[in-house]
Structure 1
């Protein structure tokens, strides 16, 4: 959810560019729909954890680890540009 709001803020104020071409197209077409999609992903992931329905296959676990790594990297990038903007 933090990623959604930080990305929206950065795009709205032209501090960053969306690197995902599909999400860039969505944002350019409708920023509220962009936020809806990003927040929906967070809600779905939260529900998986809440109801303990996370699939246990090696493929799914690998994808979860990869997604976690990318989101961690994205948050680090967001924090770095926030620091640069504030300084």
Structure 2
């Protein structure tokens, strides 16, 4: 269950940082599908970033993940952590260029 909660928190943090970065003009969305969602509205973007991890939590609650599925979930957490580290790098760069 902890990896699912991490994905929910990471998704929300990713959404907030992406919104701030795009709104400030410091970054652009790299995922073409998410770029289309953002073009339709930020509320859709946030809805996806929150709904999908919640769905995963619900599925986990019904039947805990084991074996290969759990390994894929942990791999996803590691990848998402690298995305958050990437966000932190551009936040630091942005703060250093703004000062």
TM-score, normalization: structure 1?
A: 0.79
Once superposed, what is the RMSD of the aligned Cα atoms?
2.0
Moved more, 70-79 or 12-21: 12-21
* Match in the other structure for 1:54: 64
- Which one has a larger percent helix, Structure 1 or Structure 2? 2
1:86, CA displacement in angstroms? Answer: 0.9
**TM-aligned CA deviation for residue 44 of structure 1:** 3.3
TM-score normalised by L of structure 2: 0.71
2:29 pairs with one of 18, 23, 41? 18
Q: Which has the higher contact order (CA 8 A, sep 6+)?
A: 2
Give unmatched runs, 5+ long, in structure 1: none
- Cα distance in 2 between the residues matched to 1:38 and 1:16: 18
Q: What residue is the counterpart of 2:41 in the other structure?
A: 30
- SS of aligned partner of 2:51: helix
Find the counterpart in structure 1 of residue 20 from structure 2: 9
Flag the 1:42–1:8 CA change in 2: closer, same or farther, 3 A. farther
Which stretch shows the higher mean deviation, 68-77 or 36-45?
Answer: 36-45
Change beyond 3 A, Cα 1:13–1:54: farther
Structure 2, unpaired ranges of 5+:
1-11
- Over 6 Å off, 4+ runs: none
